[in-house]
């Protein structure tokens, strides 16, 4: 069996922790084999070490209309990702460096109404990625989105990118997803993995697993369909006096998560969309949140 330095480093961290049994760290080959046999616990979350390249999506057996997110600088993405994006229900790209992101992929995401969050905007507010990750089942994380100084190996030639502590923050928000099934880590040296790179990938995996272990799953949309929200969910209605309109937000008193209602005109109904407290604060200052406008356009024009 080929020695996997990332799994070895993770085991040392795991030994210091408790309550993280839901997460299983495996190689890509082990994951594909398990997916084919369907032998896994219902609530299991897989952290998959994929090696250097973006994994072949069809081989992962993710099903149809799946939801996912990509953490990447935008560099060296496969063209096949474009067709994969068009088959998804939810998709977002986080941490992009605009000058590295291929235009074809940008166009495909815009045409499907999917969100992008550039590294600069994320660095201004690290919590901005949480709403984009809240409802995804699968996350693809390119370790080469970390700047070379913090993740030094020959395959990572990016002088800019995430700092090591920033990617660990993002990893925690990945683990706090309410529907997470698997995280695929790639951009990891296969032949000779420097110890610092193995440790960085392992610590990223640990932050995901720790968040999974401490996560509180909430779904006000499902409760709303049943006709009643739990007492932990509070309605916040913002009145735009000058326009005569209102925006409705829902806030969890348990986790601090936020959602907003966005009208779907053709169906005469509303959709609950994950958002942040920043969106609520913008509304209280008589500014229509950009995220609300994005989803209003998506639900009513695309």
pLDDT value, residue 242: 65
pLDDT value, residue 18: 58
pLDDT value, residue 100: 93
pLDDT value, residue 1: 39
Higher pLDDT, 9 or 292: 292
What domains appear along the chain, each with residue ranges and CATH number? Answer: 5-214 (3.40.800.10), 220-301 (no CATH)
State pTM to two decimals: 0.92
Q: From start to end of 13-61, where are the E strands?
A: 23-27, 45-49
**Percent of the chain topping pLDDT 70:** 91
**14 — pLDDT class (breaks 50, 70, 90):** low
pLDDT value, residue 212: 95
Q: Is residue 163 predicted with pLDDT exceeding 60?
A: yes
- State mean pLDDT over 20-39: 82
Average of per-residue pLDDT values in the chain:
89
Q: Is residue 5 predicted with pLDDT exceeding 80?
A: no
Q: Is the dihedral of CA 39, 40, 42, 45 positive or negative?
A: negative
Cα separation of 169 and 244, whole Å?
Answer: 40
Give whole-number Cα distances, 158 to 163, 169, 186, 274, in Å. 12, 20, 15, 32
pLDDT value, residue 19: 62
pLDDT tens, position by position, 172-181: 999 999 999 9
Tokens of 138: 């699968």
* Matching residue, tokens 């995280």: 183
- State mean pLDDT over 224-246: 84
- State mean pLDDT over 255-272: 95
pLDDT tens, position by position, 58-114: 899 888 788 999 999 999 888 888 888 888 889 999 999 999 998 888 888 988 999
Q: From start to end of 14-161, where are the E strands?
A: 23-27, 45-49, 67-71, 90-96, 115-118, 138-142
- State mean pLDDT over 236-245: 79
């Amino acid at each position: 069996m080929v020695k996997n330095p990332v799994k070895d480093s993770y085991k040392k961290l795991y030994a210091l922790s408790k309550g993280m049994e839901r997460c299983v760290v495996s190689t890509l080959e082990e994951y594909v084999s398990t997916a084919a046999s369907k032998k896994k616990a219902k609530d299991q979350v897989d952290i998959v070490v994929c090696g250097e390249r973006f994994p072949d999506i069809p081989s992962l057996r993710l099903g149809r209309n799946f939801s996912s997110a990509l953490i990447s600088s935008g560099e060296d993405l496969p063209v096949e990702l474009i067709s994969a994006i068009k088959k998804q229900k939810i998709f977002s790209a986080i941490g992009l460096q605009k000058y590295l992101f291929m235009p074809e992929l940008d166009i495909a995401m815009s045409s499907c109404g999917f969100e992008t969050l550039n590294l600069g905007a994320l660095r201004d507010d690290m919590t901005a990625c949480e709403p984009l990750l809240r409802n995804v089942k699968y996350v693809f994380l390119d370790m080469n989105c970390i700047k070379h100084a913090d993740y030094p190996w020959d395959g990572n030639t990016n002088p800019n990118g995430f700092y090591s502590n920033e990617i660990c923050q993002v990893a925690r928000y990945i683990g706090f997803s309410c529907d997470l099934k698997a995280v695929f880590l790639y951009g990891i040296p296969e032949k000779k993995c420097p110890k610092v790179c193995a440790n960085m990938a392992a610590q990223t995996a640990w932050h995901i697993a720790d968040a999974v272990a401490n996560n509180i799953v909430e779904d006000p949309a499902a409760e709303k369909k049943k006709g009643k929200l739990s007492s932990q969910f509070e309605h916040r209605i913002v009145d735009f006096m000058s326009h005569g309109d209102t925006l409705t937000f829902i806030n969890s008193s348990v986790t601090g998560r936020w959602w907003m209602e966005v009208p779907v005109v053709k169906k005469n109904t509303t959709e609950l969309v994950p958002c942040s407290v920043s969106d609520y604060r913008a509304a209280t200052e008589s500014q229509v949140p950009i995220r609300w406008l994005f989803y209003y356009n998506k639900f009513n024009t695309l």
